[in-house]
Amino acid sequence: MTQDLTVYEAIERRRDVRAEFSGELLDDDVLVRILSAAHRAPSVGNSQPWDFVVIQSPETLDAFAAHVACKRDDFAESLPPERAATFSPIKIEGIRESRTGIVVTHDQSRGGQHVLGRHTITDAGLFSTVLAIQNLWLAATAEGIGVGWVSFYDEPFLANLAGLPEGVRPIAWLCIGPVTRLQEVPDLERFGWRSRRPLDEAIHRERF
Ligand SMILES: Cc1cc2nc3c(=O)[nH]c(=O)nc-3n(C[C@H](O)[C@H](O)[C@H](O)COP(=O)(O)O)c2cc1C
């Protein structure tokens, strides 16, 4: 259900969701509304280099969740004991519970060779795809829908799982679905992993 949130309220309420998915399947009309918000993102040279692969097959969700579990183990093993203990209770995905995954992809060849504004900054295409993700995340928040970004994967594995053509890169797996609630404080802060920086530290005037 769309809520009448201001942009500031949606930004404030947005959360990375892991444990709060209700298990209901996202309504398809809502999904399309959210994807249309993503698709209206700004992009370098109007190249619109993104695509959205919507995945709801339980077998594919299981296969991705199993892969992510291995990557989580790899990360846990790389940590010193004290950080490993802090990391241990932190949930890093809600792949099965959300029941819908969106693989957001990036095609650097979209728009041809002469993308206006990308001749100086190659990554400007990638920035555009990430802006589509932010639009998606905020629109979902305004719909009362949760989103969780999963990045614990090997790109070739996900490219193969989602059937991506050669040269199309997976940028994110987004778990998306109805939620029981949105946390007020980010999980990584609640679990003592890392807190938000004060705004003062991020603002610089005239020079860094
Ligand atoms: C590029 C990117 C990758 C992320 N990957 C993961 C991930 O693999 N698992 C996870 O639980 N959260 C992931 N997150 C979510 C962040 O942990 C989260 O945004 C951050 O802790 C702040 O919390 P908030 O989004 O609720 O404000 C990712 C976020 C971004 C932007």
pLDDT digits (tens, 9 = 90+) for 99-123: 999 999 999 999 999 999 999 999 9
What are the residue boundaries of the structural domains of the chain, listed by start? 7-76+91-182
126 lines ligand 1 (CB under 6 A): no
pLDDT digits (tens, 9 = 90+) for 135-159: 999 999 999 999 999 999 999 999 9
- Tell me, what's the pLDDT at 3? 74
Distance between CA atoms of residues 47 and 161, nearest Å: 26
Helix axes 124-142, 28-39, angle to 10 degrees: 140
Number of C-beta neighbours around residue 144 at 10 A: 16
For 167-199, the DSSP string reads: TEEEEEEEEEEEBS---SS-HHHHTTS-PPPPH
Ligand 1 atom with the smallest distance to the CA of 18 is: 11
Flag whether pLDDT at 1 surpasses 80: no
- Please name the CATH architecture into which domain 7-76+91-182 falls: 3-Layer(aba) Sandwich (3.40)
pLDDT digits (tens, 9 = 90+) for 13-51: 999 999 999 999 999 999 999 999 999 999 999 999 999
Q: Which residue has the higher pLDDT, 2 or 179?
A: 179
Q: Is residue 4 very low, low, confident or very high in pLDDT (cuts 50, 70, 90)?
A: confident
87 lines ligand 1 (CB under 6 A): no
Tell me which residue has its CA closest to atom 30 in ligand 1: 149
Distance between CA atoms of residues 61 and 69, nearest Å: 12
Kindly compute the dihedral angle of the four CA atoms of residues 77, 80, 81, 85, in this order, to the nearest 10 degrees. Answer: -70
Element (H, E) at 76: helix 58-78
- Tell me, what's the pLDDT at 192? 98
- Tell me, what's the pLDDT at 12? 98
Write out the two tokens for 6: 């201001």
Tell me which residue has its CA closest to atom 21 in ligand 1: 188
pLDDT digits (tens, 9 = 90+) for 50-99: 999 999 999 999 999 999 999 999 999 999 999 999 999 999 999 999 99
Min mean pLDDT across 1-5, 138-142, 165-169 is at: 1-5
Tell me which residue has its CA closest to atom 19 in ligand 1: 16
Distance between CA atoms of residues 170 and 162, nearest Å: 9
Ligand 1 atom with the smallest distance to the CA of 92 is: 11
Radius of gyration in angstroms for the set of CA atoms belonging to the chain, rounded to a whole number: 18
195 lines ligand 1 (CB under 6 A): no
| Ligand 1 centroid distance, CA of 20 (Å) | 15
- Tell me, what's the pLDDT at 11? 98
For 108-153, the DSSP string reads: TTTT-S--TT-SS-TTHHHHHHHHHHHHHHHHHHHTTEEEEEE--S
Distance between CA atoms of residues 204 and 122, nearest Å: 26
**Residue carrying structure tokens 């995340």:** 137
151 lines ligand 1 (CB under 6 A): yes
